[in-house]
Structure formats: C-alpha cells, structure tokens
Chains A and B, each alone.
Chain A
Amino acid sequence: MQDLQNSDCIVIQGSNMAECHPVGFQWVMQAKARGATIIHVDPRFTRTTAVADMHVPLRAGSDIAFLGGIVNYILSNEKYFRDYVLAYTNAATMLREDFRDVDEVDGVFSGYDPETGTYDTSTWNYQGMPAQESAASGEESRSERAAGHEMGGHGASLEHGRVRRDETLTDPRCVFQVLKRHYARYTPEMVQEACGVPPEQFLKVCEAVTANSGRDRTTAWVYSVGWTHHSVGVQYIRGAAIIQLLLGNIGRPGGGIMALRGHASIQGSTDIPTLFNLLPGYLPMPKVGEHGDLRHYLATISSPDQKGFWTEADSYTVSLLKSFWGDAATADNDYCFDYLPRLTGDHGTYQTVMDMLEDTVEGYFLLGQNPAVGSAHGKMQRLAMAHLKWLVIKDLNMIESASFWKDSPEIDTGELVTKDIGTEVFFFPAASHVEKDGTFTQTQRMLQWHHKAVEPPGDCRSDLHFFFQLGRKLRERLARSTLDRDRPLLDLTWDYPVDDKGEPSADAILREINGFHLSGEKAGQPMSSFTEMKADGSTSGGCWIYTGVYADGVNQSARRKPGREQSWVAPEWGWAWPANRRTLYNRASADPDGKPWSERKAYVWWDEPAGRWTGHDVPDFPVDTAPSYRPPQGTGGPKGLAGDDPFIMQGDGKGWLYAPTGLLDGPLPAHYEPHESPVDNPFYRQQANPTRQVFRRKDNLSNPSAPEAHWEVFPFVFTTYRLTEHHTAGGMSRWLPYLSELQPEFFCEVSPELAAERGLQHGGWATVVTARTAIEARVLVTDRMVPLRVGGKTVHQIGLPYHWGVGGNALVTGDSANDLFGVTLDPNVHIQESKVASCDIRSGRRPTGPALLEYVKDYHRRAGITIYTGNDQRTPMPGVRLTRPEQDGAEGETGPRQGDPS
C-alpha cells in the first residue's frame, strides 16, 4: 500500500479508491504531492476523480478494449521496456503452429466447441510441450492440470521449463508477434467506438503511462471489484498484466497491479480458503476421476521438470494432511488423502443456491455474510433459503438474510408466505473484532494480529468458539461410530487449549497453521520457512504460504514497530506472506545482471562480494542464486530457475504476456460485450464471452442484448458501487447510528440528459427495471454522469450504490441494487457479472405487492423474453433461427445447451 507513494503515475481503473479504501488513498495523494500523475478511468466522476489529474469516463464493460488500445500503442510506438520484456517475460517464446487467434476464427480462439461452450485449450500451448493426453487415459493430463478453478491458485503448470525462444522477437509464431497481430485492431478509433473515449483523451493516457515507465520511472495500476464483477473479469486483469509486463512495471517499487480488496480478511479467507475449490495455500481440492490418490493429485499440480516452487507441492500437501489428521496420517495410508471429499464440478455459491431450489441442500451456514442483499439476484437467494430445512446465521446484527421468512420483499409480493416456510432458523450472535484474538490478512497479504480487548456480551461468541465447540460435540456424538465416513471427523486433530469460557486459543491455531517439526532434534519447534517442509510426514503445517508467521517461535503478525522507526517498507510491522516479502517477484527490480535498473528505483539487488540477494525487502528469489546462474539442462524446481527468471511461481520463470495454459476463455484478452448490453461488439461478430456460464432458467431471465431483437426495451447501462459510509450488504454499517445518518437512503445517479429524457426529478423517485425485478430509488441528477457516444448511439449510464435491503431491523432500509442482476458467471472463477447490465428507468415509485410481478412480466412480454434470451454463448449468425425445444415465453423450462448455429 505504502509503495504507491513511489509511483510516478497511478492509473485507477475499476475502483473508486478514495471512496472505498480511503485511508489507503493517502498514499496516492502522497505520490501526487511528489509529482505523480493520477488518472481515473471510470464511468462515473467520483471522490477519486475529484483529486485526479485526469478523468476518463468510459462505458462500463469496455475496459478490455481500453487496455487493449494501450497495448497497441505501446507495441506500435516501440514504447515497451525491451530489456525487461526480453529477459523477464515470455515474449520470445514460440507458440504452436496450430494456434488460431480470434480474428482468424470469427471471434473465438482455436479449440472452441459450440456444443459445450468451452475450449479445448491444447492449441494455445508453447511449442515443444508434450502432446495432449486424453482424460480417459486415467493419467493426469495437461488440460486438466490447466483447468480453471481446478487449478486452485497454483498457477498453470508446464510440463517443463525448456521452451523454444526467438530472442530477435521476429518469428511470426513467437508471443511478441502474436501479441502484435492480436492487438493491431485495438486502435484509438476502435477504443472510441467501444468505450466512448475520444482519441485525444485516450492518447493522453497512453503518453502518461509510457512516459512514466522504464528504468527510472514506474507506473502502478489499481483495480477493485469494478474489474472482477464481469463475465470476462479475469481477462480484464490479464489486460493490465500485459501492459505492466511490457512496460517493466512488475516487481518494482511504485509499479505493480494493486488489487484493493473490500473485507478485512478477504485475502486471508482466500489463502486459508473458505472456498469450495481450494485447500489452504492454493492447493486444489481433489476432483473425482483426476485425483484418485496422492500421487495423481500431486502430478496435476506441477511437473517435476517445471521451474519454481510449485514442484515442492508434495511437501505442502503432506504437511497440510498431517496438520488435519496428525498421527492418523501415515505414509502407508497416503497421509489420509482419501479423507478429503471429492469435487465433481462447480460447487460455487451460485450453483449451491440453485441446488437449494432443487432441495438437494438442506442446511446452510451464513457467517458474517448477507446474501439476501450482497449477492447477485437477491430474489433467487431469498427464495432458495426458503427451501432449506435449517439455516444458521452467525452475525452481529439481525440481517435481512436472517429474517427473510417474515419480512423479505417476496412476502410483500406473495411469492413467500411465512406460515408455509419450513426453514428452521438459528441466530447465533457473533463476537466483534475487539472481543477476540486473531489475525486478519489485509489487501497486501499482510497478517496483523488483533488483541482481544473485552469479553463478548450476552450470547455472543467468536466463530472460533462456535466451530470448535460444534466440532467437539460432533465428535462426541460419533465417538462410538464404526462407520468409515466418520473416520475423518474422529481422526481430526481437534484438541486446542481453551480458556475458562471455552474459547480456544487463536494463538495455538496460528501455530498449527504455521506448522512445526514432528520428529528429529527440532521436534515440536515451529518452522521458520516453508522450505523446511518435508513430504515424508516429518513436518506439519496448515497453510504453507503462512509458514514463517511464527518464525523463531514468535508471533510475527503481532509485531508493531512504529512505522516512523522503520524504512517505508516497514518489514517489522505485521508479517506478509510469503516469507515476509512485501513486493512479489521483486527480483525483477534489478536488471538481468542483478543491478538496480536505476538508482531511483533500486529495491532488491545482487551483492556480489557477499554472494547473495539483498535490498530493502526480503528478496523473492533463491537468495544465493547468482544472476549468471544457468541450470543444467533438465533441472526442475527452485534449482531450475536461472538467475534471470524472476517469476518463480511460473513453470518457465517468466512473466506471461500470453497465457499458454490456465485460462478457460482465451490465452489473450479479447473485447467481448457484457452479457447484457445495448451495443453491438465493434470488434468481433461474437457478442459476449462465448464461454461465460449461463443458466437458462425461468427464474433467471436475461434482457435481450444487442444485436438481439428488443434490446431497446432495456436501453440503458447501469453499474453498482460502494460508498465510504457503508460496507457491502450493510450488515456492519446500517445498524450503526453515525453511518446510517451519513448515508440514509438508496439513490440512483443519472445525468441531466437522461433525467430530461425520462422526466426524472432530482430528489424524486425513479423505478429501475430489468428482467428480474423493478426497484425504486431517490433520484440524484448530476453532471458527474455523462452520456457517451458509442457505436453511433448515445449510451446513458446509471449508478446505483448497493448497500440497502428490505426487511431486517436495520436503522436504514431500501431496495437492493443487487436484486436487478441475474446470475451469469466468469468461466474461470465463477464470479458473477454485477458491475454492468442493461435496464430501463422510469419516473416514480414501483408498484408494490403482486402488482410488482405483473409490472415486470409486462416487460417480459414487450421484450419477448424466454429462457434463451441473451443466453446463447456463441452468437448466432445473422438471420439464423436456432431450433429450440418448445418455447413458452418466460414460462419455458430449463433448456438444453444450444446447437451449433453455423
């Protein structure tokens, strides 16, 4: 965070940092005071814009085109950092002959299967990687190893690090030339066409970022959920990664891509994941068929021949299994690998909610989360909860998700009737952050211990207490069970020290996460680094990337040496994973010979006399690997990294301009329109991401999207956002008097032009409508919103903060903006598109009661909406009528996947 002060230029895009991360924003202001240029690219003029040097309003959902335009500018004007690009990226790497780009295959990459809406990604790989094996062979195959969520977080693996390179960057099959061709069409004129940004303004951004990048200067990119909440969200971030690699801004002070995360420990809950697809430390959850035993599982994570630290995944996995199952985990039983339940596909939160509607999910725990307001398609969330047999709420306040059975909007419309809802609800009040010990991991991977100040009141308990006691009781109840399925519970290590109130020691659990030696002379001692982990059962550790938080037996996360007594890096405040490194891939802050690229940007460098890497931060590189080191042919793992391979978690040690494996929707970002858009894709015939996850259900209807008929029933674009004074779904803010008073009411931001067009009165009411529902909001007419000219049309955008909800006993309530969205997901990460969709807006309040349903149905009729509307993954050829099963308007049942339109 503090590193932003070293930037010479900061582009904030997909984030309103001043509003949503206000205290972090002081570092942007510090950079500005030092002369940096601050650029805000955003549909809205916000608090961030107000202090930026430049505001670039663009159409929500067009960022890939904007970023692509910058890539094109960099490449066509030779503005890339050639030494960095050549040495540290895969620009020179040769691709397979049979790879076809989107321009060659009518808007999709090679390998697309219109039947399934998925890619066979094998043609995207590097030259010289072994040929594809079929999944049916039973052996681990590359494509599976590469597959989306199954990859966990371990990055895409490569068979080996011996790639073919063309150091002249001229071969037509090298990444650099492929990149050039791919981006050739992303001209300033096309940027204007897609984003509504005039060329002069666009070129100013290009000039600023390129002038502020190179040996002596660095540019940072800052994003937030304005980029992740899209059906192409991963490719947005890839777009920024390509720019930052080309400009040499990764691993350097004042550079990088800063993801601003929105919850105190959302980074921690990703690292130690309460996520279906991961085990701690970005190890994948095993999947049926692929991960039969430990050996097969490990083979899918990495190949022994690839470079970097993922080759040690066996040590990380065995240590994790030892920390779960202790003495029961032995070499003979595969360390209880068999105890892990298996995945069979997408078990993400939206899929789970649909499973609730099918009555296959009986019980649900909500732990400090309020999906009735915070998740997309609030109605689906609430109706699904009414199908549960039992629901557990653990929260500080009586959130809308807890009381849906008595006061949700569906009670008003008659879709739910309290007396008919069989869900048994348990509300367990929670302890607040000052009533328990523990660590949060903030947005830059830094763990900070918070000390318990007081006892929680009444029945409030920490989640640590709750789950420890629950586990204890479950194990007691099953103690005499002889069933095989109960072994994982009974063999679990679950004997934490507790205080006189039954609260387990957070300190003991952090020690378990850090891990320790189980045998040998260090038995019982905490490990100081994950490099001490062993695959032979002699170490235990609950999350390998967190090993070191208890280095030397000291809780490093509780360190609080004042910032003013340290360098700006502040390495002695808290502890950052891995190994207390504050900037990842910082080997790249030095040139291939190990010298800083410039005096001004010195960070980590090779100390020749001492024979080691040193600098302001913990070097993110094997500390004694000299810059000149070249591994013997065929060496894998950390020793396989050459002295100039800074990207130590990538199988080839290089930063990936082009992603040969790992992504499901393309090796390069291509601009696709949002799932719902009033604009035709100006780049390709393919309208939206051809692999986005669509759900054709009558309770998940979509608006027609251009060029489909009747798109004009929903002619406007809306986006959602947060305000400083509230926190996401409001569970921690709408019950607080100060915050509720500061932001009491739901509103919509519209331009004076749109207000005139629709007769909207400032301070009056407006109704916003999509195929899902209609909601009402107070109108804020402001010239902070500007209509854009896009594709020959004027596009009006509407801004909606999403903090309010109906029901519950909050101090302030209101309609929920997330009720407007349906469920359409990014294929890689299953995250919903909730930062852009189309809508209509009308003056006045919405109907109430059953009349609201009629009102929305009327829109369905006018727009001719069925379950197929907007849901063709592959855009049909113009004039082609797809054969559908019997169509019965919005009442149609879930349909099969579409046929091949061609």
Chain B
Amino acid sequence: MHHGTSSGGTPDGARRSLRSTLLSWPVIRQYTQGDPLGRGAAAVSAHTKACTARTTTADRVVQSVCPYCAVGCGQRVFVKDEKVIQIEGDPDSPVSRGRLCPKGSASEQLVNSPGRQTAMLYRRPYGTEWESLDLETATDMLVEKILDTRERTWQEHDDQGNRVRRTLGIAGLGGATLDNEENYLIKKLFTAMGAIQIENQARI
C-alpha cells in the first residue's frame, strides 16, 4: 500500500486528507490499481461502496418458479418485513441455471406494482362505474347467481331423451397461469355442478 494513504499517525490531518482525495481520484486509481481502462475497481465510487444489495438484508429467501412462460425458470424470492423485496434467478435450477429473462426479472413488479388491483370490485347491471363490495358478500351473491342460472338452464336429457345431466348456462376460460391444484379444484367443481364449458389457453 502507498504509505500516503495509510491511516498511520501523521500529525497533519488536512494534508493527509487532501492527499488521499487526490489519490482516490478515479483517473489516478485507474493507473495505481491495475485498471487502466477504468472499467473495474477504479470506477467504484464511495457511494457504491457503501451500498449493500437488498438481497443481503432479506429476512428469508423462498424458492419459487417464474409465473410467465413454460420454461419454468427457478426463482428466489427475497422477503423482508413480510414484503417481497426482490426476485432473482435460482442458480440451482438445472433448467435455468440462475437466469431470468426480462419478464421473470420484472416479476417483483407483478407482486408490488401500484397498478395491481387488490380490492374487490362490482359493476351492477347497466351501471356506469365500478363499485366496491365486500368479498364475503360478493361470494354469496355469486353463489345465488350460479344456482339461479343452473336451475334455469338445467338439462336433464337431450332432445333424443339421452341423459346429459348438465347446464350450458355456465362457462369458464382460464387455467394455464394457475397451479395444478387450482385447475383440479376448478375441474372437479365445474364437473359436479354439471358445467362442461370450461376451457383455457391450451385451446388457443
């Protein structure tokens, strides 16, 4: 180490500090620290040095999977104070080896973006605006809608007298972005209700 930058007991503090400022100029450090093009250590500012990665302060790291395409890249979800603070690629994954594409890398915003809809909303027939509605009430209202439609559109037999035991009044679309367990419950409940028109992106 250059003796002038040492923190040894030189009496003249001002001179010492001037000297260390001069010597810590990036252009000097480029030459003194073996980084002649100024693309490595010489470019690091004191501010940068003082920064720590969000990931190092996380309370915990949870293993997950990217929710976009079907490559299925491994994700590490960093959580602090019960909030997701960062999502990164999981280097352990033999499929993705730590990489994420722009979508996977942006998925922290999928969770935390201010534009995300987090409140239940309701639009009444012929209404012109959304209204707020309590989740429990909404579910109860929906139960009545389903039972009403199902009753009104129930087909016990087709026009040839074959038993069909179904309703064509209720349909669904979606599932490709959901979990297997969710798809299972959807298929199970729709089938038991007699609703057959359930479809997802795989048809599209």
Asked whether any CB of chain A lies closer than 8 Å to the CB of B183, the reply is yes
Answer yes or no: B162 CB below 8 A from chain A CBs: yes
Least CB distance from B141 to A in Å reads 8
| Residues of chain B contacted by A396 (CB below 8 angstroms) | 110, 116-117
Asked if B46 is an interface residue, CB under 8 A from chain A, the answer is no
Least CB distance from B89 to A in Å reads 8
Bound state CA distance, A468 and B173, in angstroms? Answer: 18
A1 and B99 CA atoms in complex are apart in Å by: 14
Instruction: Find out whether the CB atom of B103 lies under 8 angstroms from the CB atom of A266.
Output: no
Chain A to chain B: the 9 pairs with minimum beta-carbon distance, closest first: A563-B94, A367-B174, A442-B72, A438-B179, A458-B118, A274-B175, A341-B166, A570-B94, A269-B175
Q: Is the CB of B95 within 8 A of A2?
A: yes
Contact of A265 among B135, B168, B177 (CB under 8 A): B177
| Chain B binding surface SS class | mixed
Q: Assuming A261-B70, A425-B123, A454-B84, is B202 touching A270 (CB within 8 A)?
A: yes
Complex Cα distance, B24 from A724, in Å, reads 42
Bound Cα distance A829, B183 (Å): 20
CA gap between A682 and B63 in the complex, in Å: 54
- Give the residue name and chain of the A residue nearest to B169 (CB): A362
CB distance from A3 to the nearest CB of B (A): 11
CB-based contact B189/A470 at 8 Å: yes
Binary interface encoding of chain B residues 126-167 relative to chain A, with 1 for a CB under 8 A from any of its CBs, else 0: 101110010100111111011101001110101010111111
A342 with B70: in contact, given A362-B149, A463-B186, A562-B92 (CB under 8 Å)?
A: no
Set A276, A362, A460, A738: member contacting B106, Cβ < 8 A: A738
Interface flag for A432 (CB, 8 Å): yes
25 contacts between A and B (CB under 8 A): A263-B68, A266-B176, A273-B187, A275-B203, A349-B204, A362-B169, A363-B149, A369-B176, A395-B117, A396-B116, A424-B124, A426-B121, A440-B65, A450-B75, A450-B179, A451-B64, A458-B118, A467-B185, A468-B185, A469-B139, A573-B92, A735-B115, A737-B113, A739-B103, A830-B203
Query: In whole angstroms, how far apart are the Cα atoms of A742 and B106 in the complex?
Result: 11
Interface range, A side: 35 or more
Counting CB contacts under 8 A, is A488 at the interface? yes
Contact present for A285 and B196 (CB under 8 Å): yes
The segment from A112-120, A414-422, A752-760 found at the interface with B is A414-422
A367 touches B173 (CB 8 A): yes
- B55 on the A face (CB < 8 A): no
- Cβ-based interface call for B9 (8 A): no
Interface size range on B against A: 35 or more
Tell which of B68, B158, B165 touches A732, judged by Cβ atoms closer than 8 Å: B68
Are the C-beta atoms of B69 and A20 separated by less than 8 Å?
A: yes
In the complex with contacts A288-B162, A442-B95, A573-B94, A464-B106 CB distance below 8 A: no
Give the residues in chain A near B177, CB-CB below 8 Å: 263-265, 368-369, 732
Residue B83 at the chain A interface, CB threshold 8 Å:
yes
A111 an interface residue at 8 Å Cβ cutoff?
no
**A566–B94 touching, CB < 8 Å:** yes
Q: Which residues from chain B contact A811 at a C-beta distance below 8 Å? A: 115
What residues of chain B lie closer than 8 Å to A33, measured between beta carbons? Answer: none
Q: Give A334 Cβ to nearest chain B Cβ, in Å.
A: 13
Q: Is A506 touching B203 in the complex (CB atoms < 8 A)?
A: no
Given A264-B177, A361-B197: A450 and B152 within 8 A (CB)?
Answer: no
Contact B180 A265 (CB under 8 A): yes
Q: Which of A22-30, A608-616, A708-716 is the interface stretch?
A: A22-30
Complexed CA–CA distance, A468 and B171 (Å): 18
Q: Tell yes or no: B42 within 8 A of A by CB.
A: no
Interface string of B183-200 (1 = CB under 8 A from A): 111111111111111111
| Interfacial chain B residues near A446, Cβ < 8 Å | 72, 95
Distance, CA A272 to CA B202, complexed state (A):
12
Residue of A nearest to B182 (CB): A463
B12 at the interface (CB under 8 A from A): no
In Å, the complex CA distance between A512 and B188 comes to: 12
Within 8 A of B (CB), among A1-55: 1-2, 20-24, 26
B164 x A439 contact (CB < 8 A): no
Would you give the 0/1 interface string for A429-473, flagging 1 where the beta carbon is closer than 8 Å to chain B?
100111110111111001111111111011111111011111101
Residue pair B99, A26 in contact (C-beta under 8 Å): yes
> What's the minimum C-beta distance from B158 to chain A, rounded to whole angstroms?
6
Residue B77 contacts which of A390, A434, A448, A809 (CB distance < 8 angstroms)?
A: A434
Does A394 have its Cβ within 8 Å of any Cβ on chain B? yes
Q: What is the minimal beta-carbon distance from A351 to any residue of chain B, in angstroms?
A: 8
B161, chain A: closest CB distance, angstroms: 10
Say yes or no: is B28 at the interface (Cβ < 8 Å to chain A).
no
A sample of 6 more A-B contacts (CB under 8 A), given A274-B183, A492-B192, is A21-B69, A265-B178, A342-B166, A450-B75, A506-B179, A735-B113
